[in-house]
Structure 1
């Protein structure tokens, strides 16, 4: 039966825009349901994996309480008095309790920062599965065949020696799925490590060249510091580090760019660099974006190499500490896919400053090896200063 929303059914409502969607599961981008064995064994395995990986990755665990339908719910604290949500600062951790229905849309927001989500598959489902072959839960597992949509690992409990026949029938490529003993924790941890390494987001480049250049009085992207327009020079430099490189621009600028470069027009208009970053994620939400402003004439490959080498894909972003004020430099930054919902959330609260997002998020902050490389040019006075620096460097090179 179709659910009604006003006078229009969900099936009939087709007017929404189609845009690329991040590859989420029910909770996060990288999630595995562990099923086929008692909950105690699932929790023990999750503890082992999380303990081994939590030093490098943000890990989460999803489970449910065992309760019978006829048992009366005992609500904690103020929820019993009618509150919808409570928050408690537990000093060493933070505790939220909700008394409302949660769905995958809520869960993806709550788990957006996670690199790994392990799920008790006896209670919840996930995008990928780890199936334990345990004779004590054989009948239960047979009832869950519909949940086996993407089996990536088989584990044999002590009481089993081979994959059940009904699993072989349900998983066509079961022979190509890794098979370990449940007791081989080292191999299991290595499996998840490899999966997370393979899931590291692809890195794209984005040159910010869509500004009005009002303070400069001329198009900063068109200035020629190194024999060609700076926006093209920057794009060429990014090609050594990125899978694809785009030049961010206003819609009316796109047709004016050299056709050998890829334009990426702002779709979040009127927001400056913030809108350009969001527009990039709207185009490719599963990519990480190395974002650089076009007004950095002293930026060099060594500085970009430092940024890429020290990239922390578990953080929201990796950036440099400003040599002037110690704050993050938002316009020479690697923004990870997990920053996309963060940026949208800040926008929803009325903030369009990328630096504010970095200051209030889990950001990997680096000390630049060459502080001068971060010098930007917004005014004629700054332009004159950079010309002096470039002239001095040219003189020094010739002297050598």
Structure 2
């Protein structure tokens, strides 16, 4: 079909899909194609890589390619090769680079897995507090279930698990949050509900994972948050709890990985501004909550009174 003039050909063999396109792979299209991959292996003879696994092939000496070896993570010895050349040792200097037999696939796989875990994106925190609280009648983030405003209480809950914690807000809320000692993050995406805050956080730091919690979860505990963080799966687009009301993921207490940013924007471009819609149709980890009652949203004065009564008990 491509030879006949088609621009793209999609082959679906049920168990896998293949897309052949007649366009060059430039610096913009390549990241787009590999954005859902956690590991990409490239041929270091032709392309530069961030981290290198070096195979010491006697037929391809490395003297003229030392400038490419900027971050060697392992030297792999094929059968018959027993020593690392002196020029390579001199180039690596004091770096403690492991040397493994090329045939020891288990050890190589363990090394790659270790590297991958160490490279997991840092975790930052976000409290969603920029809503209008129309059903409550006044700002839900200012309610005090635990002796302080709920938005501040939620930020304290997140702090032990995150490098820092921001409070998502409307631009007109920034001053009051700063006076309260919180770190405001004004919405840079307008009128999208909770998605405004999530996208604004990912825009601020697209290389971090964001632990996002809504401010209307007064029953949420550190134990439940710890369970979410401990079972985080950075290889997936997100890690979320299953809603106590149905089998769907709960988007407002979720770890959103960097890969979620282009996916959320993609769904927004298709007309979907509901973060749950993105979770349902993406590769995410969904956990059973250890205490389902803690995921109960409080949106009305009646629900707030019930939640306060539960906390007092």
Report the Cα offset of residue 189 of structure 1.
Answer: 1.9
Q: Determine the C-alpha separation between the residues in 2 that align with 1:184 and 1:310.
A: 30
Q: Determine the C-alpha separation between the residues in 2 that align with 1:111 and 1:137.
A: 29
- Does 2:19 correspond to 1:96? yes
**Cα-Cα RMSD:** 2.0
Report the Cα offset of residue 132 of structure 1.
Answer: 1.2
- Does 2:209 correspond to 1:288? yes
Report the Cα offset of residue 354 of structure 1.
Answer: 0.4
Report the Cα offset of residue 208 of structure 1.
Answer: 0.6
Distance change (3 Å), C-alpha of 1:348 and 1:143: farther
Task: Give 2:131's match in structure 1, choosing from 208, 211, 236.
Answer: 211
Task: Give 1:297's match in structure 2, choosing from 213, 218, 223.
Answer: 218
Report the Cα offset of residue 360 of structure 1.
Answer: 0.6
- Does 2:30 correspond to 1:107? yes
For residue 68 of structure 2, what is the aligned residue in structure 1? 147
Aligned residue-pair number: 312
Task: Give 2:241's match in structure 1, choosing from 303, 320, 326.
Answer: 320
Q: Determine the C-alpha separation between the residues in 2 that align with 1:90 and 1:142.
A: 46
Q: Determine the C-alpha separation between the residues in 1 that align with 2:244 and 2:307.
A: 16
SS in 1 for 2:19: strand
Give ranges in structure 1 of 5+ residues lacking alignment: 1-77, 395-400
Larger radius of gyration: 1
Give ranges in structure 2 of 5+ residues lacking alignment: none
Q: Is the 8 A contact 1:154 1:177 kept in 2?
A: yes
For residue 118 of structure 2, what is the aligned residue in structure 1? 198
* Aligned ranges 1:1-400 → 2 under 5 Å: 78-138=1-61, 141-168=62-89, 171-173=91-93, 175-257=95-177, 258=179, 260-391=181-312, 394=313
Report the Cα offset of residue 234 of structure 1.
Answer: 0.7
Distance change (3 Å), C-alpha of 1:162 and 1:259: farther
Distance change (3 Å), C-alpha of 1:175 and 1:228: closer
Report the Cα offset of residue 166 of structure 1.
Answer: 4.9
Report the Cα offset of residue 259 of structure 1.
Answer: 5.0
Return 291-300 or 104-113, whichever deviates more. Answer: 104-113
Return 254-263 or 353-362, whichever deviates more. Answer: 254-263
Distance change (3 Å), C-alpha of 1:289 and 1:178: same
SS in 2 for 1:88: strand
Deviations 1:332-365 (A, max 9, x none): 1111111111112222222211001100101111
Q: Determine the C-alpha separation between the residues in 2 that align with 1:164 and 1:110.
A: 38
Q: Determine the C-alpha separation between the residues in 1 that align with 2:260 and 2:59.
A: 43
Return 350-359 or 319-328, whichever deviates more. Answer: 319-328
Give 4+ residue runs of structure 1 displaced > 6 Å after superposition.
Answer: none
Deviations 1:12-46 (A, max 9, x none): xxxxxxxxxxxxxxxxxxxxxxxxxxxxxxxxxxx
